[in-house]
Chain A
Amino acid sequence: MANGNLTPLASFIIFVGIPAVVLLILVAFILAPAWTRAGRYRPGEPWEHEPVLINAALSGPVTDAEEFESAAAVAELDAPVVGEEMIMQEIPELASTVPGSGGEGGVSARW
Chain B
Amino acid sequence: MESVPAGDPFAERVGDQMLDSPFTTPQTASLEKNLATAHAITGLRFSIYVGALPAGRDSAIALQRKMADPGLSVLIAVDPDQRTLEIVTGPLIVERVDQRACQLASLAMTSRFAIGDIAAGLRDGIFVLAEHARVPATLHTDQPG
Contacts of A86 in B (CB 8 A): 1, 3, 32, 35-36
14 pairs from A and B in contact (CB 8 Å cutoff): A38-B23, A49-B20, A49-B50, A50-B17, A52-B17, A53-B51, A54-B32, A54-B49, A85-B4, A86-B3, A87-B10, A91-B51, A94-B63, A99-B65
- Interface: A46 (CB within 8 A): yes
- Interface: A97 (CB within 8 A): yes
Please tell me if the beta carbons of B32 and A94 are within 8 angstroms of each other in the complex.
no
Task: List residues 41-57 of chain A with CB under 8 A from any CB of chain B.
Answer: 41-43, 46-47, 49-57
- Interface: A3 (CB within 8 A): no
Give the interface size class of chain B: 35 or more
Please tell me if the beta carbons of B63 and A57 are within 8 angstroms of each other in the complex.
no
Please tell me if the beta carbons of B58 and A98 are within 8 angstroms of each other in the complex.
yes
Residue numbers of B with Cβ under 8 A of A are: 1-4, 8, 10, 13-14, 17-18, 20-24, 27-28, 31-32, 35-36, 39, 45-59, 61-68, 70, 74-75, 79-81, 83-91, 93-94, 97-99, 102-103, 106-107, 109-111, 113-114, 116-118
Query: Main SS of chain B's interface residues?
Result: mixed
> Which of A62, A80, A86, A89 has the most chain B CB atoms closer than 10 A to its own CB?
A86
Please tell me if the beta carbons of B62 and A53 are within 8 angstroms of each other in the complex.
no
Please tell me if the beta carbons of B35 and A107 are within 8 angstroms of each other in the complex.
no
> A68-B65, A109-B84, A110-B83 are known contacts. Are A52 and B22 too (CB-CB below 8 A)?
yes
> Which of A47, A59, A80 has the most chain B CB atoms closer than 10 A to its own CB?
A47
In the assembled complex, the Cα of A102 lies from the Cα of B57 at a distance in Å of 13
In the assembled complex, the Cα of A7 lies from the Cα of B109 at a distance in Å of 64
Please tell me if the beta carbons of B13 and A81 are within 8 angstroms of each other in the complex.
no
Please tell me if the beta carbons of B57 and A96 are within 8 angstroms of each other in the complex.
no
Minimum CB–CB distance for B57 against chain A, Å: 5
Query: Main SS of chain A's interface residues?
Result: loop
Please tell me if the beta carbons of B48 and A53 are within 8 angstroms of each other in the complex.
yes
- Interface: A4 (CB within 8 A): no
- Interface: A8 (CB within 8 A): no
Minimum CB–CB distance for A79 against chain B, Å: 7
- Bits for A52-78, please: 1 = Cβ < 8 Å to B, else 0: 111111110010000010110011000
Please name the 9 residue pairs, one residue from A and one from B, whose CB atoms are nearest each other, closest first: A51-B51, A103-B91, A105-B94, A111-B110, A109-B106, A56-B47, A49-B22, A47-B80, A57-B68
